[in-house]
Amino acid sequence: MPHPAGRGLRSVTRPAATTPGRLALIAVGLIVLTTLAALTAWLAVRDRDGTLTELTERREPLAVAAQQVYRALSDADATAASAFLSTGGEPEELRVRYENDVAMAGSSLGRAASDPAASEAMAAQIDVIGRQLPVYTGLVETARANNRQGFPVGASYLREASALMRSEILPAAERLYRIDTARVAERQHDAGGFPALAAVVVAALLAALVATQLYLTRLTNRTLNIGLLVATVAIVLGVLWSTAAVTTQSALTGSGRRDGTEQVDLLVKARIAALKSRADETLTLVARGEGGGYEAEFARLTSRLAGEDGTGGWLAEVAADAEDETPLADQVAAAQHSAARWLRAHATVRELDEAGDYGDAVRLAIDADRPDGATAAFLALDDHLRAAIDAARQSFFDDTTNASRALTLLAPGWIVLGVVAALGVGAGITQRLREYR
């Protein structure tokens, strides 16, 4: 008596021994492959579109929040030093700016911490900032209290606060920003990558459709099978549509990276360098002859920011890549001009201080009403850098949004084309099967 397993195997393989059976199996295989190709393409397009949406709605805003933490903390440190140097009472505008910076750092840190995909490394940096920021503000308040009473120890407390900011808080903020920036770059790479799996499955389907038509031509001596031709045209249309859409989307995503996030990163580096340099400038004066380390760091940071005269450094890199007569190019050019003004004013401050004219040096460094002073030039530089960052972010947003629009209807389009192709396969093979009845 035949084994049941053998009977089952023969029941499966027997239809393939006949031409109608082979045609039926080919039809089933093509329909399954068509369904798989349509679903794979749909998933690939949906994933790319989701990545682009995540970039504009989550990843880039979180990177901006981390950058705001760094900027606000750096500015708070510089502002606290400027306020300490003021004579005749702490200027109200500097006190308000310092308090706003601390509040901005706290709120931006909260946004950065809201990332549901935060890693342990990110959580560690947020924890450092959250624990040390109250210590820093307490040291600043102690310095202010001693300074109001004329106690020299106030300067020591301020230097201790600045040392804490620079040694622990700002490095943690920078690491947080770097992690978020790396995630933006990673998602941009994912959005611009080649959809290899979908391409392989679709190519396999096209090869199977062509092979089936050649097989039917030899079998029936008919040149064309209308159903299979419709299926092939539907898939080819999907390939051409996908090629155009994905090529456009990848190009726009790359443009958003080059003209947007990469420029933002350079400008953020420049702005942070400017803020740290401003703190160095004022802390050199606070130190009263013992600020050689601050002055050395000022020279190093401003050289990376704008070169020796405002025409080099990171600002020159951004200017070289910015398109002419765009908001970004205009703001960077203005930032270079302000940087040159600041460097000239700083040189005069140092000359006065080293010549023993400490009071004049302080006034030139912190008096915002003096057009030739360091404060006016620094504030103008900071405003232009902020506007340049906003312009570069807008370029990123516009390019990434347009990249997402390039994929409009492509995902559901593949489902429709897959249904058309499957119906074409079914109709084309059914037409041949009827000839055997």
> Each residue of 247-279: pLDDT tens digit?
999 999 999 998 899 999 999 999 989 988 988
Residue 406 has pLDDT above 90, yes or no: yes
Residue 15 has pLDDT above 70, yes or no: no
d(CA 170, CA 181): 16
Average of per-residue pLDDT across 283-293: 80
Please give the pLDDT value at position 377.
93
> Each residue of 26-45: pLDDT tens digit?
888 899 999 999 999 999 99
Q: Cα–Cα distances in Å, from 405 out to 198, 398, 401?
A: 20, 11, 6
More confident residue, 217 or 17: 217
> Each residue of 332-361: pLDDT tens digit?
999 999 999 999 999 999 999 888 898 888
> Each residue of 43-94: pLDDT tens digit?
999 999 999 999 988 888 988 899 999 989 988 988 888 888 776 567 788 8
Please give the pLDDT value at position 216.
82
Residue 7 has pLDDT above 70, yes or no: no
More confident residue, 21 or 424: 424
The DSSP annotation for 250-318 comes to HHHHHHHIIIIIHHHHHHHHHHHHHHHHHHHHHHHHHTTS--HHHHHHHHHHHHHHHTTTSSSHHHHHH
CB atoms within 10 A of CB 415: 14
What does pLDDT average to over the chain?
87
Q: Is residue 7 included in any domain, yes or no?
A: no
d(CA 346, CA 375): 10
Residue 9 has pLDDT above 50, yes or no: no
Q: Is residue 5 included in any domain, yes or no?
A: no
Q: What is the phi-psi region of residue 150: left when phi exceeds 0, alpha when psi lies from -120 to 50, beta otherwise?
A: left
pLDDT band at 223 (very low <50, low <70, confident <90, very high): low
More confident residue, 49 or 11: 49
Please give the pLDDT value at position 17.
57
Q: Is residue 258 included in any domain, yes or no?
A: yes
Q: Is residue 207 included in any domain, yes or no?
A: yes
Please give the pLDDT value at position 263.
93
d(CA 86, CA 67): 29
Residues spanned by the domain of 288: 20-436
d(CA 52, CA 43): 14
Average of per-residue pLDDT across 225-229: 88
Please give the pLDDT value at position 309.
84
Please give the pLDDT value at position 22.
79
Q: Is residue 10 included in any domain, yes or no?
A: no
Q: Is residue 9 included in any domain, yes or no?
A: no
Q: Per mean pLDDT, which of 110-114, 192-196, 204-208, 368-372 is the most reliable?
A: 204-208
Q: Is residue 11 included in any domain, yes or no?
A: no
Domain count, the chain: 1
Residue 20 has pLDDT above 80, yes or no: no
d(CA 221, CA 181): 62
Q: Cα–Cα distances in Å, from 294 out to 23, 219, 287, 380?
A: 83, 87, 9, 22
Q: Is residue 6 included in any domain, yes or no?
A: no
> Each residue of 306-319: pLDDT tens digit?
998 888 999 999 99
